[in-house]
Structure formats: C-alpha cells, structure tokens
Structure 1
Amino acid sequence: MLMARRHRYLAATAVVAASLLLASCGGSDSGSGDGRTLRLWHYEGPDSAMGVAWNEAIKEFEAQHPGVKVKFEEKGFEQIQKTAPMILNSSDAPDVMEYNKGNATAGLLSKQGLLTDLTTEATQRGWDKKIPASVRTTSMYDTNGVMGSGNWYGVPDYGEYTMVFYNKDLFKKYGIAEPKSFDQLTAAMDQFVAKGVTPLANAGAEYMAQQYLYQLALSKADRSWVDSYELYKGRTDFHDAAWTYAANTFADWVEKGYIGKNSTSVKAEDAGVSWIQGKAPILFSGSWWYGRFQTEAKFAWDTTLWPGSNLTLGSSGNLWVVPKGAKNKQLAYDFIDITLSKKIQNLLGNKGGIPVAADAAAITDPKSKQLIAQFNTLTGRDGLAFYPDWPVAGFYDTLVSETQKLMTGSEKPDDWLDHLQKAYDQGAPTR
C-alpha cells in the first residue's frame, strides 16, 4: 500500500525510543560495527495490531539478545515513501525497516540495488515455508523489479485487504437497512444523502479515493485483467469497460453526494478519524484500520467484503526489508524471524491483524476471527488484486492528483483515463 498501509495513515514523525550506540553489525556482509544496536524503522500506530505486535517483538528480541538494544524510530508512511531511495543510498539507512510492497516501491529499490537479497535467509530460516504462496508474491522481485519471481527482497508477516466498514448505529438511527448487495449499498447511500448525510468517508489527498476507483474497476474485472495491469502479462487499456465504468461511476458518486467534494484535500488519517467519531456511516478501506477501530470506535460496527465483486484490493502486508548498507544485518534477520514466531503471530491475530503463521486455535477474539475468515475467503477464491499505484514508479502521485481533479470536476472521466494511460505507458517496462 501502495500503500501502502498502509499504507498511509500516520503523520510523519520521528520518535527515538532510546539513546543508544551507533548501529553496528554481526555479519560478514554487513559493514563495520559491534552488533550491539539494531536500528528499526516502521510506521505502524502504537495502538494498531501491527504496532502492538512489533513492540512485543522488540521486547522479545532484546530478551533473546542480552546486551543488544533496539533503537526504534517511528516514521510516517508518506515520509518513507518519498525519501526511501535517498535514505537507503546514504550512511543513515536503518538496519531493518518497513516498506511498501510492489513493483513501484520495493521492486524499484531492489532493481536499484538498495536492498539486501534475503533468499538465503528465507530458505535457511524457513520463511519460505511459513508464508503462504498467495502472500509470498510481494516478497520476490526479478531483475526488472517485477514482483512474483526472482529473489527475496522483503518479508511480509501479515496479510491485508480492503472491506466495507459500516456504522450499525447510524444505519439504525436513520432507519436504513444494512446492505448485503451492491444495489442495496447504493440504495442506502441514496437514503443517507436524502437525510443530509454524506455516506462515504473519503480522503482525496492520499490513497483512499483512488482505492474506491480501483475497487469499482475490479468489480468488472477478472484475474487476467489484474495480471495485465500489475504484472504486465498483457496490455492495459484504461479505456476498457472496467476502467471506464470506474471513472464514470466515481464521478457520478461525487455528483450524487455519496462522496463529499470537500474531501478532496483530506488525508487518510482524518478520514479514518471521522469514521471513528461517527461522522460517516460507511468507510471503504483496509484491514490496517481494524485493530484501531476495535479500540477506538465507541459504536456497533461491522464489515463486509465489497458486494458484487470477487476481487478486492489486498496482498501481503508491508515488507520488512534490510537496506544494502545496513550495519547490523544478522540482527535484522533475527528480528524478522521473531516477528514470524508463533508468540508474535498469535498476538497479532488477537489484536486485529491478519497473521500468516499463527495457530488458528490461538485466535480467540470474535472480531479477529471474522477478519481472518474474510481474508481466507478472498485467498480461497484468488481474490487479492493488489493496489492501483503498484505497477509503475511515481504512479501513486499521478493517481492522487488526477483523482483530485476528477473529484472537483476540473477533469472529466475520459481525460482522467487518458492521463493515467500516459503515465502508465511511460513507466511500464517493455515486456
């Protein structure tokens, strides 16, 4: 998530967990250092499922490595997204960091030689056995930086997917039936608009708006369409039926008031908070919000997969990557290994995450069970369709700016499709 999460939803901050020695390493390929400090970057909120799990992993790591301390810095998703190539090409690179998966992000960095090849570690430590094949796609990149084959450059230890979150209390307050089909969803949105309520929380300044568009396209697409778009296994035509439907429908939804025009400059964090505060009945976004909603939403809520579509946005979670210039590579490998342990994976699952190597019987929280069951439904029908910004470098920014124009009406759907086609064709590799 993109997105990353990820995608995505934290303000850019830098919090130093402790004042420690300079980073150093214990491996023959990991530069000069004394192996007593592990520098770690990630951008998960402290109350999110991943944030809770990684904090516990830090404690476990330090317990297993007497005399070694973790120097943790929390970074914003956008901050890492925009500065990673520069940082990783400098002496300031951390030893292990969370990074967005996909061709335009981890794939691009692997192609540029900025990431450590983790293939040997993945085999020797059994990561290749723990991580399911449908999730493993984003771990491996070929010499062109295209995901799905080649060497391991990242390790995911959770899954993610998008879903419809709805505020049951608001539906009840306005006497509107909870939707079970796509037609019922649009009918419910019409009823909310009639009552003066904007039904969809949205963030035009970041990933959320483009994900609405991609989901609309996916509802008219199939696996071969996804493979053409994401993996270049065919030609992508932005004026095909799926993309045209998405652009026209999204523009129509803005006109109908399903999506507020005033959300053009809203960031994902603000959209999520507005939903937590009960200001919008519906939010379409990712499982990365799930644990936080469990903690912070003070009303009855539920989720459903996007109605009328076999495909939805989703993949592995973000990746642990080890910068090529990291000074503590062996410690980094050990930390990654701990995040894949049963203890951390089970904790992740019970806090609202989607673990890849947990004991099913150890997940006891009812909502967490529902979350994981929906993910299993998607993987069972090969329904994870990745994210719209993944195919080419810089496409995320193109999607944001063009979609903002679509929302304000300064650009028509046909022009939106033209501009995306041009940016995609310029960035996609020749196959």
Structure 2
Amino acid sequence: MSKKGIAAAFVAAALTLAACGSSGSPAPSAGGGSPEARTLTLWHYEGKTSAMGVAWADAIKKFEASHPNVTVKFEEKGFEQIQKTAGMVLGSDQAPDIMEYNKGNATAGLLSKQGLLTDLSEEAAKRGWDKLLSPSLQTTARYDERGVMGSGKWFGVPNYAEYVMVYYNKDAFAKQGIEVPATYEEFTAAMDKFVKAGVTPVSTGGAEYPAQQIMYQLALSKAQRPWVDAYQLYKGKVDFHGPELTYGATAFADWVKKGYVAKDSAGLKAEDMIVGFISGKFPVLVSGSWLYGRFGSDVKKFKWGTFLWPGNQMSAGSSGNLWVVPEKSKNKDLAYDFIDITMSKDIQNELGNAGGVPVAADPAAITDEKNKELIENFNKLSAQDGLAFYPDWPAPGYYDVLVSGVQELINGSKAPDKVLDDLAQPYNDNLADIGN
C-alpha cells in the first residue's frame, strides 16, 4: 500500500548478478556435465493486471533467461490466505523459497521474532539494496529482536511503494457538477450531493481491509507525526479515546448514517468494492495505489482519476509489501537473485509505467501521464512526511480486530466509544507482551 531512493547505475539484471558473483549461477553437476536442474518456488498475491503482477511476471522471465537451469514455480495466493496461514506454513516443509508478505509489526515483524524469516542484512549490503531504499522505506524492511519495525536486521525487501488515495468517477462528478474537492468540507459536500441524487457515493468493503483504512484516514485528519510514531512504533502512549481515534470512529459511523457508505458493506470484501467501482455503481473508492494498474486496464465505462485525501497532512502508506525469504527456503541463493532482478532499473521502470510506484526507477522513463501523476502525488505525500503506515500493523491479530470493529460501526451494533475500548485492549496487551 515512502517511496524514495535512486539507484546507482544499474546494469542489465544478468550482468549485475554475474558481477556480484551470484550464487544462483548455474553450477556444474558432479560429473562435469549440464548444470543440475533447480526450482524456485515463489508465492505472491498480486493480480495479473496490477502493476506489480505485470512487472513481476516479466521479472520471472528475466530470471529464467539468466538462470537457464532454474524453473520458477509461481503459486498465486490470496492476501487473506497468506495473512492467516503464514506462521503455520513457514514453520513447515511446505514453505516456498520466496514470498510476498505484508510489512509491519503484526506480520513480518512477528514472523521475524518467531525465527521464520531469513536475515537479509548481509545480502542487502552486498547487493546495494540498502543504497536503493531510503531510510523511510527501510522502516518496514528492518525489525529488532521484539519484532518492532524501524531498526535492527533486514528481514524483507520492498521493491515498490504505496499509499491510500481517493479514486473517483470523473463522469459521475461532472454529471452532478462537482469539482475535485480541495478540503474535507468540500469532500463531504460532494458526497452529500450524491446522496441527494439517490447515489451511495463510496464503494467499500467492511469484511476486509478497505473500511478500516477509511476510519484511519479520518483519524489521521486530526493527527500529527508524534501520534503516528506512538501508535505504530511505540514511541509514546496512545489514548484510544483521544481526539484522533475518537474522531475516526465517530466520523466513520456518521458516514454510514449520512448514506456515504452502504449499510450492507459490512459483509462485502475488497473485490466486491473494486467491482462496484469498475461497474460505475459507486463514484468514489478509497483505497491504495495497488489498484491503479487494474483500474487502468479494467475501467471501460467512464473516465476516472485520483486525488489525495483532502485536507490531510498524512495518509496511510509506506513501502510496498516485502519480498521475504523463509528460513526453511531450500534455494535462498536463487531467492536473493530474484529480488535483485525486481530491483533492477528495467523492472522498476516497467512497474512505474504499469501504474505502480517504483522505488528505483528512472523518472524520465515513466512515459504515461496518468502514471506520472500517481508518482508525483506519492512524492508530494512523502516529501511532507505524510506516510502513516496502516492501522492494523501495531499488534498480531489486529487486522481481524479492526475488521470486527468497523463492521460494528457499519451495522450500528456498537457505539464508537465501545468499539474503541475493543481496539485498545489487544493493542495494550501486545505492549505488555513485548515489554514496552
């Protein structure tokens, strides 16, 4: 879902690997004949038409071309599937050699603390990943012995960045005479106008991540960096009934009451939200840059655009998800080589032109005007220290806690202050567990 870092001169991937003395180079067989055939098992959960899906498919081709003795066995997994089963799978002999995994204390941090991920610190220094990724992007790549992000060893490598924004249907806005809002007040006024016209403006899904990100965006409208650092990095005490989270929960409940968000969205998943926007049923969708490439290829019925959440200094966002190498990986050398290729200039440029936010592309190589706007908006957010990570990161299992909380706000089954009590308990329990 902090995208910086400019590369030192990149050579073609195969030459880079050779120059590094890559251990993934074809090894002669014991008899001196052809290299032994090997398989790299790779898991990720990006859609085929997403920017990452497109770029990584090409990275697989480049990897196989530079490793003629290796076949990549790609297995597409669902986000929820990996989220819920990673700890069990990575502790077994069924672990892949490399996989995409969600960044943050509750996910990659937890697995690193459990000894399930390979320490990549030496490879990061040897291959120059530490030079390509700016300090802010490295926040989610490094974890201390408690599993807290921001310092310590490298347990993952992001090769893209992401942030939450507002997608909108330009034709629907024009029909109602609505301009792109510059302030939060203009944003809610636009949604009021849609409601009066009989249109539910916001497509969302309460059964997965989307709705909780809206609540977080609302909380961030009242937040400053010290509050984010306290919530995400444990650098201070978090008051769950303070102005930030109180406003987030209360305003989100009001969005439901005012008809901005449909009451049946509590049972909808992210895919339902996406399809609802693509079909033209909803004129607004709040989600991340990871959907940009898909909308570019799948939206056929109307013109669409994006804008940063009006009035906020900060928005949910960070480096993208991580390439991690399970401790039980049988082909770690090949996994490192594959990561290297996804960090190469040509794959980074391709990612940018496919609608992603690359971390090491050549800006002059991004030719699509829409994609340039995506990257420029990210750079604006990053430059103002506006990346606030994601609401489910602070504690293991917190994703499900937040899903339940926003569903109760949508259903009206609990008042905002009671929902905040439910959010506070596991957060504070986690602080006690890690001795903070």
Indicate whether the TM-score tops 0.5: yes
Residue-by-residue CA offset, 1:264-320 (whole Å, 9 max, x unaligned):
100011101110111111111000000111111121111111111110000000000
Task: Determine the C-alpha separation between the residues in 2 that align with 1:35 and 1:388.
Answer: 44
Q: Which residue of 2 aligns with 1:189?
A: 191
Q: Which residue of 2 aligns with 1:274?
A: 276
Shift of 1:384: 0.3
Q: Which residue of 2 aligns with 1:412?
A: 415
AA at the equivalent of 2:380: T
> Residues 36 and 69 of structure 2 are in contact (CA less than 8 Å); yes or no, is this contact kept in structure 1?
no
Q: Which residue of 1 aligns with 2:405?
A: 402
> Residues 202 and 260 of structure 2 are in contact (CA less than 8 Å); yes or no, is this contact kept in structure 1?
yes
Task: Determine the C-alpha separation between the residues in 2 that align with 1:306 and 1:139.
Answer: 26
Shift of 1:34: 5.7
Residue 289 (str. 1) matches residue 294 (str. 2): no
Residue 363 (str. 1) matches residue 366 (str. 2): yes
Task: Determine the C-alpha separation between the residues in 2 that align with 1:354 and 1:173.
Answer: 31
Q: Which residue of 2 aligns with 1:390?
A: 393
Which of 153, 156, 160 in structure 2 is aligned with 1:154?
156
Which of 242, 260, 271 in structure 1 is aligned with 2:262?
260
How many residues end up aligned between the 2 structures?
404
Residue-by-residue CA offset, 1:140-195 (whole Å, 9 max, x unaligned):
00000000000000000000000011101011123333322111110011110011
Q: Which residue of 2 aligns with 1:223?
A: 225
SS of 1:264 mapped into structure 2: helix
Which of 282, 297, 301 in structure 1 is aligned with 2:304?
301
> Residues 212 and 403 of structure 2 are in contact (CA less than 8 Å); yes or no, is this contact kept in structure 1?
yes
Residue-by-residue CA offset, 1:113-139 (whole Å, 9 max, x unaligned):
000000000000000001122211100
> Residues 25 and 34 of structure 1 are in contact (CA less than 8 Å); yes or no, is this contact kept in structure 2?
no
Q: Which residue of 1 aligns with 2:180?
A: 178
Task: Determine the C-alpha separation between the residues in 2 that align with 1:414 and 1:80.
Answer: 32
Q: Which residue of 1 aligns with 2:202?
A: 200
Moved segments of 4+, more than 3 Å: 24-27
Q: Which residue of 2 aligns with 1:168?
A: 170
Matches within 5 A, 1:293-372: 293-298=295-300, 299-372=302-375
Task: Determine the C-alpha separation between the residues in 2 that align with 1:310 and 1:373.
Answer: 16
Shift of 1:26: 9.1
Q: Which residue of 1 aligns with 2:435?
A: 430
Q: Please, what TM-score do these two structures have when normalized by structure 2?
A: 0.91
Q: Which residue of 2 aligns with 1:7?
A: none
Task: Determine the C-alpha separation between the residues in 2 that align with 1:273 and 1:237.
Answer: 37
AA at the equivalent of 2:365: A
Q: Which residue of 2 aligns with 1:46?
A: 48
Q: Residues 241 and 415 of structure 1: is their aligned pair in 2 closer, same or farther, counting only changes over 3 Å?
A: same
Task: Determine the C-alpha separation between the residues in 1 that align with 2:430 and 2:259.
Answer: 34
SS of 1:220 mapped into structure 2: coil
Task: Determine the C-alpha separation between the residues in 2 that align with 1:392 and 1:35.
Answer: 42
AA at the equivalent of 1:402: G
Residue 211 (str. 1) matches residue 216 (str. 2): no
> Could you list the runs of 5+ residues in structure 1 that have no partner in the other structure?
2-23, 28-32
SS of 2:267 mapped into structure 1: coil
RMSD (Å), alpha carbons: 1.5
